[in-house]
Structure 1
Amino acid sequence: MTDRVYPSAKPAVNGAGNPSFPATKAQLYSNARPAYRPQARHRRSRCCSCCLWDPRPVAFLVLILLVGLTGVAFYVIYRPQRPSFSVTSLKLSYLNVTSSSQLNSRFDLAVTARNPNKKLVYVYNPIAISIFSGDVDIGDGVIPSFVHGKKNTTLLKTRIGSDRKQLESSEASDLKASMRSRNGLPLKVKLDTKVKAKVGGLKTPRIGVRVTCDGIRVTLPTKRTAATASTSKAKCKVDIRIKIWKWTF
């Protein structure tokens, strides 16, 4: 057999007689190539935030500001005063609570409303009236809507009552205890309505009004004679109730 001799691998030699080596990374990848730098995105984020901005809160604030300025101007020009109320008379025809905690009552109420303004006319919605003894509602009624003229005093009359109104057992017990008191039954009258003011052709939005009259006492009637309540110490407080969105102030 013939032996074959394979030539050994030798490094390539350049023209100068020196062996050539593989190029370094600096030669393969030029140092002049700029390094990677992430691009800033704050400009795009600002643009997106502008697109997502909701103008409704600002419009709501502007609306409140305009309403406030209108109210201030209206007050400065016309100097409006709140209407006043007083309980003229209150008579109790009957009041009883059955063994099954059912309430029956009848009251005759007269309320005096006064408009002290020289230029304003008040236009009232129907007035809901409730009579309370403690926290127990013992009678309800309604006064029809009416127009209250300038510098005018109006007497409002209505009949209030309950017909077999079912009470909670605790309410029935509290009411019976108050009915047995020698000092008479303490009463509180509440009136709830909405009213707008008129000055010539100008009309304001309707505003909620609540009138609370305290300091009234009445004894239970005997036989067929109605009992007249004592109203000499009664005081009525008028509260303006303004509703903005879901809140009432």
Structure 2
Amino acid sequence: MGDKAYTSSSKPIPNPPPKPLNGTVANGGGPAVKPPAFPPTKAQQYGAGRPPYRPQPPLTSRRRRSRRGCCCVCCLWLTLILIALVFLAAIAAGVLYLLYHPQRPSFTVSSVNLSALNISSADVLNSRLDFTVTARNPNRKVVFVYGDIAISADSDGIGLGDGSIPGFVHETGNTTVLKAAVSSSAVSLDPTDASDLRKKKRFPLEIELETKVGFKIGSFKSKRIGIRVTCKGLNAAVEKKTKTAAASPSSSTAAKCKPRIKIWNWAF
């Protein structure tokens, strides 16, 4: 009676099976059996053996930065070179000025004769203008070399003709007198311009000379640069013929001209 009754569910096992080692599973009283191997998950297949992802900057940005750096360096060097060249040119110009004291040439229109200015009823212009230009070189050591000179003349913006003068060498301390003529033949005018010219008896004139000039100091010769010489303040009447075929000169006041350096279409 003192013995305890055990149910089949609570009766202790006299010899419990040993615990499995190294992940094996007991198989009743037989040898231990390893548990079945399950296939790895997708996370284990694709990310288990890889290092953590670290985003890298794109290569294009690195290339752009390197190109910008190269451009900045090139611009800096070009700027330094230009500054150095300007500085050297200024030094050379200062040395030349101290040694030779160069002066620019002067030009003067000493006489003008308007031998013809005819306007037909169809507003067609025929004209001829003769004038004299006196050029002076005040330098003692600088020689000017002029190319061919193109000449034009107008009256209140109305063109009266074109002409040219051959180039020449202007020696030191020399005064050269240049005789030139401009003319126009069968040039059609605007009716308003033709009417304005018919009303005038004396014509205000403006003469313009364009050429290229270089200078020579000893054996050194410079490249030629463009210059424009403008002569204003002139006026003339049409020359009248007498019965003896002698011409009465048209009066004109001598005018000094202003030379300027020409770069493309600008003059300074």
Give the Å deviation of 1:50: 7.5
For residue 235 of structure 1, what is the amino acid of its counterpart? K
**Residue deviations 1:132-177, cap 9 Å, x none?**
1011110221111110000111100122211222222233223223
Q: Which runs of 5+ in 2 are unaligned?
A: 1-22, 28-34
1:170–1:108: structure 2 CA closer, same or farther, 3 Å change rule?
same
Q: Give the structure 1 partner of residue 170 of structure 2.
A: 148
How do 1:56-205 residues align onto structure 2 when only pairs under 5 Å count? 62=81, 66=85, 69-70=88-89, 72-77=91-96, 78-177=100-199, 179-180=200-201, 184-205=202-223
Give the Å deviation of 1:52: 8.6
TM-score relative to the length of structure 1 = 0.75
Identity %: 45
**Residue deviations 1:90-128, cap 9 Å, x none?**
111121111111111112210000111111111111111
Q: Give the structure 1 partner of residue 241 of structure 2.
A: 223
CA distance in 1, matches of 2:168, 2:80: 34
Q: Give the structure 2 partner of residue 8 of structure 1.
A: none
State the 4+ residue runs in structure 1 displaced beyond 3 angstroms. Answer: 16-29, 42-53, 58-72, 246-249
Give the Å deviation of 1:21: 8.5
CA distance in 1, matches of 2:216, 2:119: 45
1:59–1:97: structure 2 CA closer, same or farther, 3 Å change rule?
farther
Q: Which runs of 5+ in 1 are unaligned?
A: 1-12
Larger-gyration structure (1/2): 2
Give the Å deviation of 1:223: 3.0
Q: Count the aligned residue pairs.
A: 229
CA distance in 1, matches of 2:117, 2:95: 49
Kept in 2, the 8 Å contact 1:212–1:238? The answer is yes
CA distance in 2, matches of 1:20, 1:60: 75
1:175–1:60: structure 2 CA closer, same or farther, 3 Å change rule?
farther
1:151 is paired with a residue whose SS is: coil
CA distance in 2, matches of 1:67, 1:156: 37
2:197 is paired with a residue whose SS is: helix
CA distance in 2, matches of 1:118, 1:20: 112
2:108 is paired with a residue whose SS is: strand
Give the Å deviation of 1:241: 1.4
Aligned-pair Cα RMSD in Å: 3.7
